[in-house]
Structure 1
Amino acid sequence: MAVTDAAIDKIKQMILSGELSPGDRLPKEADLAERLGLSRNSLREAVRALALINVLDVRQGDGTYVTSLEPRLLLDTMSFVLDLHRDDTVIQFFEVRRILEPAATAMAATAMSDDDVAELKAVLDSLPSEPTIEELVANDLTFHQRIAQGAGNAVLCSFIESLSGPTTRARIWRGLTQEGAMEKTQEQHTAIYEAIASRQPEVARSWAIVHVAGVEAWLRKAL
């Protein structure tokens, strides 16, 4: 288990056991890290990840709290983390992405207008030099949406867009827990764009396969 995953699991167990209840403030970072046998950096990453899915609420200058939700709702916000370890439904979504998105990417390489290609480049360029995982995933969703639209097939585009929601949280989780995932995503987006811009459909298809399959492979290991 990755260090960040292990840290998340320890905090999660404190909540599930009732040691931490909704509305409770977490102990000071140094004290909690020592108590859980974690480095402060690992604890910080775990807190950040749990804040992203609304399990924790980080209040600047005040501390970090378990979100003030009913226990049932609190567990619901954590369910996708648990699902990664007991349900392969999200993998099935990625399997469908791996079939559809490379086809759409190849079609986009011939169907997109020059203006569409320029707009796709603008999406990549809009990402900050050191993006947060939230910014990267939002950019990722927009990038793939533009390609799906550029394929020129409304039905195919609709199918691909319907897969975005069920896979978004897994993309966030990968960015937080897999070393180098953010850099790899940016490199592959650039390669896909360059293949589309140079009107090489089969190269674009190949890079899209690599891109989606990489997330799928990580997810299979995480289960």
Structure 2
Amino acid sequence: MALTDDAIAKIRSMIQSGELPPGARLPPEPQLAAQMGLSRSGVREAVKVLESARVLDVRRGDGTYVTSLAPRLLLEGLGVAVELLRDDTLLEVMEVRRMLEPVATGLAALRMTDADLDELSRILEEMRAAADDAEKLIRFDTAFHHTVVAATGNETLTSLLDGLSSRTVRARVWRGLIEGNSAHQTIDEHHAIYLALRARDQLLAQASALMHVNTSEAWLRRVLAVEPADA
């Protein structure tokens, strides 16, 4: 593991320094190992780790390349990690979402195009039509918030919030809302966000999003409170 860690650190350093920029092809394994003064096995394991992290792209029969290093690639594993978190930590994730999503929504109010707003309107209609179907609501809810945050033009923020708003969290919230006959209320909260965005009102959009995230967090707390600890 120490040799692998050393190899990872050295490859990362080469990328950070610009010696291996995005899209660059790594030297063949024997050459890279000699260049770093490490064993080929350590370099091989390091490449596997960095491939899993989406830092490297191993193309069989062609070579190993540095990826684009885009946030959507490097943060892709965040959603998987959130899916595996236990209940108490899920609530911490909701707190982080409460810190980020309202501000992102306020920023989107200033940057959304008319086409983005038309897409939100369409998604809202789909949500209302699926008010009693948790699976469809999860899909439309995901699309709604992704469209809003993506409109900020900040790929890092979009990737972070996509990862934090995992399917597991959304499923628990929406099923709790449907069972509590509050799904329509939450859909109305989405509509309030949409109206604030359509009005290009940054502060109102931020406040509407905060109210919505608070509702989701409250329902998640209620759902988790009634589930067995190992559910």
TM over 0.5: yes
Give distance in 1, aligned partners of 2:192 and 2:142: 16
State yes or no: 1:101 paired with 2:101.
yes
State the partner residue of 1:164. 165
Deviation at 1:219, TM superposition (A): 2.5
C-alpha contact 1:174 1:218 (8 A) present in aligned 2: yes
Counting matched residue pairs gives 138
State yes or no: 1:141 paired with 2:142.
yes
Give distance in 2, aligned partners of 1:200 and 1:172: 27
Give distance in 2, aligned partners of 1:99 and 1:221: 20
1:154-184 alpha-carbon deviations (Å, 9 max, x no partner): 111110001122422322332343232x111
State yes or no: 1:207 paired with 2:208.
yes
Percent identity of the aligned residues? 34
C-alpha contact 2:98 2:213 (8 A) present in aligned 1: yes
Give distance in 2, aligned partners of 1:215 and 1:168: 9
Poorly superposed stretches of 4+, deviation over 4 Å:
none
Give distance in 2, aligned partners of 1:175 and 1:110: 31
Q: Name the aligned partner's letter for residue 115 of structure 1.
A: A
* Cα pair distance change 1:127/1:168, threshold 3 Å: closer
Which structure 2 residues correspond to residues 1-223 of structure 1 after superposition, within 5 A?
Answer: 87-127=87-127, 129-131=129-131, 132-165=133-166, 166-180=168-182, 182-222=183-223, 223=225
TM-score by length of 2: 0.55
Deviation at 1:106, TM superposition (A): 0.3
TM-score by length of 1: 0.57
State the partner residue of 2:61. none
* Cα pair distance change 1:162/1:104, threshold 3 Å: same
Give distance in 1, aligned partners of 2:222 and 2:96: 18
Deviation at 1:129, TM superposition (A): 2.9
Deviation at 1:130, TM superposition (A): 4.9
Higher alpha-carbon Rg: 2
Give distance in 2, aligned partners of 1:169 and 1:89: 16
Name structure 2 gaps, 5 residues minimum: 1-82, 226-231
